[in-house]
């Protein structure tokens, strides 16, 4: 169990670092959005590349912070129902949700998104918009974000197993 808990702590540390690094992307996204809006209004000019950078940044924020959000227990939950149960039952609900919902969903998304990214990488796919950017950097965010999410789900399951086994031993 010690090795599993060490793995859980390592996964938590990775998602914690990624989450804190992505905080800075929020600032960058705001600055790019503001600059784009000012240039568009003040000089009547626009750039598809800047619009796409905004989308890339928003995608990065959302996808890369999925694991961090799970670590912080900030995902949407039905606490009105689960809050009525004992802590042990809530832990079992978390394990059930991770095993039967989170893991299959993430595996399906990884299965579908990896070839999607590889095709974009191999072909050098570019946005169809005039002045658009290459697409693979945005597309690789999907598998990376979901790998971080499934790792955090594994970490949560390890901790839940530790809690449940400790209670069974007591």
Measured between alpha carbons, how far is 55 from 138 in angstroms, rounded to an integer?
Answer: 9
Q: Please, how many CA atoms are within 13 Å of residue 67, restricted to the half-sphere of its CB?
A: 32
Nearest partner of 74 among 156, 8, 2, judged by Cα:
156
- pLDDT less than 70: residues of the chain: 78, 167-170
Query: Domain residue spans in the chain?
Result: 2-169
DSSP 75: S
Which run of H or of E encompasses 67?
A: helix 66-71
Structure confidence at residue 45 (pLDDT) = 86
Measured between alpha carbons, how far is 23 from 21 in angstroms, rounded to an integer?
Answer: 5
Q: Please, how many CA atoms are within 13 Å of residue 136, restricted to the half-sphere of its CB?
A: 11
Structure confidence at residue 62 (pLDDT) = 96
Please answer whether residues 24 and 60 qualify as being in contact, where contact means their C-beta atoms are separated by less than 8 angstroms.
Answer: no
How many CB atoms lie under 10 A from the CB of residue 165?
11
């Amino acid at each position: 169990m010690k090795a599993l808990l060490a793995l859980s702590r390592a996964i938590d540390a990775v998602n914690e670092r990624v989450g804190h690094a992505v905080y800075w992307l929020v600032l960058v996204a705001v600055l790019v959005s503001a600059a784009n809006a000012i240039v568009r209004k003040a000089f009547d000019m626009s750039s598809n590349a800047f619009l796409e950078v905004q989308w890339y940044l928003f995608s990065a924020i959302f996808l890369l912070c999925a694991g961090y959000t799970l670590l912080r227990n900030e995902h949407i939950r039905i606490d009105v129902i689960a809050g009525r149960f004992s802590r042990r039952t809530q832990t079992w609900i978390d394990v059930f949700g991770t095993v039967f919902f989170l893991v299959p969903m993430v595996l399906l998304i990884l299965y579908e998104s990896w070839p999607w990214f590889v095709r974009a990488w191999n072909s050098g796919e570019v946005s169809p918009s005039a002045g658009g950017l290459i697409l693979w950097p945005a597309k690789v965010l999907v598998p990376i974000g979901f790998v971080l999410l499934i790792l955090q789900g594994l970490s949560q399951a390890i901790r839940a197993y530790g809690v449940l086994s400790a209670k069974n031993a007591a």
